[in-house]
Amino acid sequence: MPKQIDYTLNEDELKQVHHAMKASDSRVSKRATIVHSLHLGYAPQELAQMLNISLGSVYNQFKRFKVQGGAGLVDKPRSGRPFKAT
């Protein structure tokens, strides 16, 4: 039997998620929505299907948020040449 993961957030984490949901970057907002939806009781399988992402992505986003906090929702810097267009 797989272990149960507790998706409840404390008050500080909930404030971080609400703030990130209002971010101008759509990727950060989507990741915050995933974490918030898990907190509200949605099953990871439901979220993966609704948002058309893999189940592993749902688990990874929640794990990154729990370990790194709000900074875990933001993209990490990538190597290579920056984009020309803005």
Instruction: Report how far apart, in Å, the C-alpha atoms of 22 and of each of 11, 18, 27, 47 are.
Output: 17, 7, 11, 19
Residue 67 has pLDDT above 70, yes or no: yes
Q: CA 48, CA 33: separation in Å to the nearest integer?
A: 12
Query: What is residue 46's predicted lDDT score, i.e. its pLDDT?
Result: 94
pTM of the model: 0.85
User: Which SS3 state, helix, strand or coil, does residue 8 take?
Assistant: coil
Instruction: Determine whether 62 is exposed, middle or buried from the number of CB atoms within 10 Å of its CB (0-12, 13-18, 19+).
Output: buried
User: Which SS3 state, helix, strand or coil, does residue 10 take?
Assistant: coil
- The pLDDT tens digits for 25-56 are 999 999 999 999 999 999 999 999 999 999 99
The tokens 């040449």 sit on which residue?
Answer: 81
Residue 21 has pLDDT above 70, yes or no: yes
